[in-house]
């Protein structure tokens, strides 16, 4: 395998993004508008923003290699979205001597992250990528055919994760449909297994909610149905990315789809959340949700919630409703910069009788178990990728010349 010793600057160029005026932002896509890509958009579609196409000249395609310029965590290597990218992102454009997928995975290596993190300066309290130092970083470059073979191994693993995530989203959508049918339309199974409201189930008008609710249902405060833990950030000196101590999540910037994805560690945890508890952002954007997939430390940007009745699926969907409420109020001009524990405790929940709650949790358990199983599989694949990445990128795995992708 022929190897060339080069620098990052000799295999790619970097193109910084631009920051359009906020007055041009739109939640709707009009003619000649494009999506404005921000770092957070690679984790969630909750805050899609569009801008006029002629307001910028910096665009990216879904397979382009994008770098998060600021942290924490600094130097996120991203791809998968098409649009115009903002100033917090940099596009890495490969030269003719390197395969685009190979460059993507090469930049994702831990030793490069540590190099960038160590040397990048702080600007206004925020860490920024030092591009000049990154350009000097050495790279041992095999021939193009071998680059493509190496990258293809990792691409296949990412495709499996992508497929699992698609199934998770479909199961999640089914879960939400069932919740809506039971607890919004009130068509949970009656004694005769017929839809309650549509079969003439008795409804009573509730003045607090200003609507009709099924007979026997109650209005409860969130503190009556859930244990609530407010986060507290550990000392900055205890934080690390080397895996020392307990996993630490600061706020919604750590959230992925369903489960947190960005991971720091702390050797001095203060407030803890258990695996399976609901994590909720209590600072803007208030109400964003994830699920703790392991025991973790939570910072002051988060709270953790646990059902007192083992009704996880019900509580999670209830909190989704509150997330939408916060979003609607923000659009109306009532900004929620943060939410306190008393605010959370006093949130009003329409609560069904115990037998209905148990039926719902039993029905939802098959979806939840499958989602958790797929998530665990994804974590194992990620571990395999971490093992293979340095071997493939540092030419420690040899490919036969007749080996095909």
The 10 Å CB-count burial string (b at 16+, else e) for 374-402 is bbeebeebeeebeebbeebbeeeeebeee
Give the residue extent of every domain in the chain: 3-142, 218-351
Q: What is the mean pLDDT of residues 90-113?
A: 95
Of residues 71 and 43, the one with the higher pLDDT is 43
Closest Cα to residue 315, out of 328, 324, 305, 323?
Answer: 305
Structure tokens at 95: 């030269």
pLDDT single digits (tens) 129-170: 889 999 999 998 999 999 999 999 999 999 999 999 999 999
Secondary structure (3-state) at 240? strand
Q: pTM of the predicted model, to two decimals?
A: 0.75
List all residues 6 or more positions away from 186 whose beta carbon is below 8 Å from its beta carbon. 196, 197, 201, 203, 213, 214
Of 303, 296, 250, nearest to 272 (Cα)? 296
For residue range 330-360, what is the model confidence (pLDDT) as tens digits? Answer: 554 444 578 899 999 999 999 999 999 999 9
Please give the mean pLDDT across all residues of the chain. 89
Q: What is the pLDDT at residue 4?
A: 85
Q: How is domain 3-142 classified at the architecture level of CATH? A: Alpha-Beta Complex (3.90)
Lowest mean pLDDT among 49-53, 114-118, 379-383, 394-398: 394-398
Please check the confidence at residue 405 and state whether its pLDDT lies above 60. no
User: What percentage of the chain exceeds 70 in pLDDT?
Assistant: 93
* Nearest by Cα to 252 from 78, 50, 44, 89: 44
190-to-200, 361, 363 alpha-carbon distances in Å? 10, 16, 15
Q: What is the mean pLDDT of residues 287-298?
A: 92
Q: Which CATH superfamily is domain 218-351 in?
A: DNA methylase specificity domains (3.90.220.20)
Tell me the H-state helices in 210-310. 222-225
pLDDT band at 1 (very low <50, low <70, confident <90, very high): low
Would the pLDDT of 250 be above 60?
Answer: yes
Q: What is the pLDDT of residue 330?
A: 55
pLDDT at 71: 72
3 state DSSP class of 399? coil
The pLDDT of residue 404: 47
pLDDT of 397 > 90? The answer is: no
Cβ neighbours, 10 Å, residue 363: 15
Give SS3 for 77.
strand
Domain 218-351 in the same topology as domain 3-142: yes
Q: Look at residue 338 in the predicted model and tell me its pLDDT.
A: 81
């Amino acid at each position: 395998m022929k190897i060339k010793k080069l620098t990052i600057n000799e295999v790619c160029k970097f193109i910084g993004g631009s920051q359009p005026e906020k007055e041009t932002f739109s939640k709707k896509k009009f003619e000649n508008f494009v999506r404005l890509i921000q770092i957070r958009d690679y984790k969630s579609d909750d805050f899609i923003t569009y801008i006029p196409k002629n307001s910028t000249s910096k665009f990216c395609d879904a397979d382009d290699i994008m770098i998060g310029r600021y942290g924490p965590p600094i130097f996120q290597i991203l791809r998968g979205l098409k649009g115009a990218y903002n100033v917090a992102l940099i596009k890495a454009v490969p030269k003719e001597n390197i395969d685009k997928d190979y460059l993507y995975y090469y930049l994702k290596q831990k030793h490069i992250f540590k190099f960038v993190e160590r040397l990048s300066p702080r600007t206004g309290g925020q860490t920024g990528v030092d591009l000049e130092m990154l350009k000097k970083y050495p790279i041992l470059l095999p021939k193009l055919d071998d680059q493509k073979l190496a990258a293809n191994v990792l691409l296949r693993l990412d495709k499996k994760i992508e497929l699992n995530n698609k199934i998770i989203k479909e199961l999640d959508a089914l879960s939400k449909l069932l919740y809506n049918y039971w607890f919004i339309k009130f068509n949970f199974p009656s004694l005769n297994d017929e839809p309650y409201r549509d079969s003439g189930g008795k409804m009573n008008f509730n003045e607090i909610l200003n609507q009709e609710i099924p007979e026997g249902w109650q209005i409860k405060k969130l503190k009556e149905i859930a244990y609530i833990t407010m986060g507290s950030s550990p000392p900055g000196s205890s934080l690390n990315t080397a895996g020392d101590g307990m996993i630490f999540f600061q706020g919604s910037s750590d959230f992925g789809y369903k489960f947190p994805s960005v991971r720091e560690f702390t050797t001095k945890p203060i407030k803890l959340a258990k695996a399976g508890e609901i994590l909720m952002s209590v600072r803007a954007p208030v109400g964003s949700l994830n699920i703790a997939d392991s025991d973790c430390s939570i910072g002051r940007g988060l709270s953790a919630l646990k059902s007192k009745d083992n009704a996880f699926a019900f509580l999670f969907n209830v909190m989704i409703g509150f997330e939408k409420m916060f979003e609607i109020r923000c659009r109306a001009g009532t900004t929620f910069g943060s939410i306190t524990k008393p605010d959370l405790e006093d949130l009003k929940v329409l609560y069904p009788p115990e037998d209905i709650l148990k039926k719902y949790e039993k029905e939802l358990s098959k979806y939840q178990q499958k989602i958790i199983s797929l998530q665990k599989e994804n974590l194992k694949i990620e571990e395999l990728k971490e093992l293979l990445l340095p071997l493939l990128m540092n030419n420690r795995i040899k490919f036969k010349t007749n080996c095909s992708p």
